[in-house]
Amino acid sequence: MKFGILVNEGPYQHQASDSAYLFCRAALARGHEIHRVFFYHDGVNNSSRLTEPPQDDRNVVARWSKLAADHGIDLVVCVAAALRRGIKDDNLAPGFRISGLGQLVESGIQSDRLVVFGD
């Protein structure tokens, strides 16, 4: 099955990002495909390379970057939501790219299921 993923919450304010990441890993381990992960609203904060969690905490941004590198997953950040939060191309973490809502619509069309994490 091919999944599209929508993440609407930031990496440390809500469980949504962790849940989405763990869902992606589990789906890939079972042989499914992740078409795209689209970050929207506060979810765009998952893409900032400026995030520096304490050493004893998980690095959510680095997790997403590694997942994209290991599995060729398209990590798309909503341009309007990103700019509102000060996220631009020059401070994106590796593996992320900025684009528009059309990428979310396309993911919904091309995937068997669009799974939403966060409000």
Displacement of CA 46 from its chain's centroid (Å): 7
Lay out the sheet containing 96-99: strands in order across. Answer: 96-99, 74-78, 33-39, 2-7, 113-117
- pLDDT at position 75: 98
Digit-coded pLDDT (tens) for 100-111: 999 999 999 999
Stated as kind and residue range, the H or E segment containing 84 is helix 79-84
Digit-coded pLDDT (tens) for 28-49: 999 999 999 999 999 999 999 9
3-state secondary structure of 98: strand
Tell whether domain 2-52+59-117 is in CATH 3.40.1260.10. Answer: yes
Domain spans in the chain, listed from the N-terminal domain onward: 2-52+59-117
Digit-coded pLDDT (tens) for 55-84: 889 999 999 999 999 999 999 999 999 999
pTM: 0.96
Is beta strand 33-39 parallel, antiparallel or unpaired with respect to 2-7?
parallel
Average model confidence (pLDDT) for the chain? 97
State the pLDDT confidence band at 5, using cuts at 50, 70 and 90: very high
- pLDDT at position 80: 98
Pick the catalytic residue: 16, 78, 81, 92?
Answer: 78
For residue 78, indicate whether it is catalytic.
yes
